[in-house]
Amino acid sequence: MIPTDTIEKLEHTWASISALCATLDEKQWKTQTLCPGWSVQDNVSHMIGTERFLHGLPASTVKAPQREYVKNPIGAANENEVEQRRGKLGVEVLAEWNELVVTRLSALKSGDDAYFAKEMVTPTGPGTLADFLHIRVMDCWVHEQDIRTALGLPGNDDSPSAHLSVDRLLRTVPIVVGKRAATPEGETVVLNVTGPVTRNVVVTVANGRAAVVSIRPPQVRAEVSMDSNTFIALACGRISGSDARSRVDVVGDTTIGNAVVDNFNMMI
């Protein structure tokens, strides 16, 4: 099946990134973001590297120095792509990005069912190209938010890609509530994401396993509320629970509630 909705979300997010970056001066391009070691420019360089990989283009031949924030082979490959473009001007990186986006959209819009069903390893394990692209929507949108946060230029945080990103990250909330926060058997934790993307998730631990339930019980152990931008920042490891304390409301068992917040990082 051709993932038309996913392609539309990618196109919208890529256009938003291009429009935002077209307004930047060189100082802004070199501004540090919440991604360790990465400037605004480095975030775009990383996105270029992944899109080149998905299009079957050669990887960078540059080998970046070992850096402590690089934790795995995927991170090392990402760093090589970033390192290759560090000596360039921001406008040069943007020009490469814009040209590549045109190429990628042409390929995606002309792809057939077999193209999108191609088996490959995705960031979450074995899957298809269509699976990878769904994750790619979130990845690109989150990096756009990294850029916006670093520069104090908020926006595009209630887009279709924003909703997709929140929903993908919410999938792992039961793991956070049950395993990481050690919520006791029979107890329930409620997560309220208050906007711009609004969601309400009720998680109950039963038979040693935490799962989302459709009905909120009369009593809950803890209720945690935060806006969707804070949720994204926590879930993607951009900030820690202690960083977010003033942006999060915990009602009920604060030990359990804070443990949930402290263990929200779901990224590799």
- Which domain CATH number covers 79? 1.20.120.450
List, as own/partner pairs, every contact residues 98-105 make where C-beta atoms lie below 8 angstroms and the sequence separation is at least 24, other chains included: 98/18, 100/48, 100/51, 100/52, 100/55, 101/14, 101/18, 101/51, 103/55, 104/14, 104/51, 104/54, 104/55, 105/7, 105/10, 105/11, 105/14
Phi, psi for 113 (deg, rounded to 5) = -55, -40
Domain co-membership, 20 together with 141? yes
Q: Which residue among 154, 184, 213 closes a domain?
A: 154
Domain co-membership, 80 together with 117? yes
Domain that holds residue 120: 4-154
Q: What global pTM score does this model have?
A: 0.94
For the chain, report the end-to-end CA distance as a whole number of angstroms. 29
Q: Which residue among 94, 124, 154 closes a domain?
A: 154
The pLDDT assigned to 71 comes to 81
List, as own/partner pairs, every contact residues 214-220 make where C-beta atoms lie below 8 angstroms and the sequence separation is at least 24, other chains included: 216/188, 216/190, 217/188, 219/188, 220/187, 220/188, 220/189, 220/190, 220/252
Domain co-membership, 107 together with 23? yes
Q: Tell me whether residue 165 is in a domain.
A: no
Query: What string of pLDDT tens digits covers the 268 residues of the chain?
Result: 899 999 999 999 999 999 999 999 999 999 999 999 999 999 999 999 999 999 999 999 999 888 888 888 787 888 999 999 999 999 999 999 999 999 999 999 999 999 999 999 998 899 999 999 999 999 999 999 999 999 999 999 999 999 999 999 999 999 999 999 999 999 999 999 999 999 999 999 999 999 999 999 999 999 999 999 999 999 999 999 999 999 999 999 999 999 999 999 987 5
Domain co-membership, 58 together with 182? no
Distance separating alpha carbons of residues 158 and 12, to the nearest angstrom: 12
How wide is the angle at C-alpha 65 spanned by C-alphas 60 and 69, nearest 5°?
100
The pLDDT assigned to 68 comes to 82
Q: Tell me whether residue 166 is in a domain.
A: no
**Domain total for the chain?**
2
CATH of the domain at 202: 3.30.1050.10
Q: Tell me whether residue 162 is in a domain.
A: no
Q: Which residue among 109, 128, 154 closes a domain?
A: 154
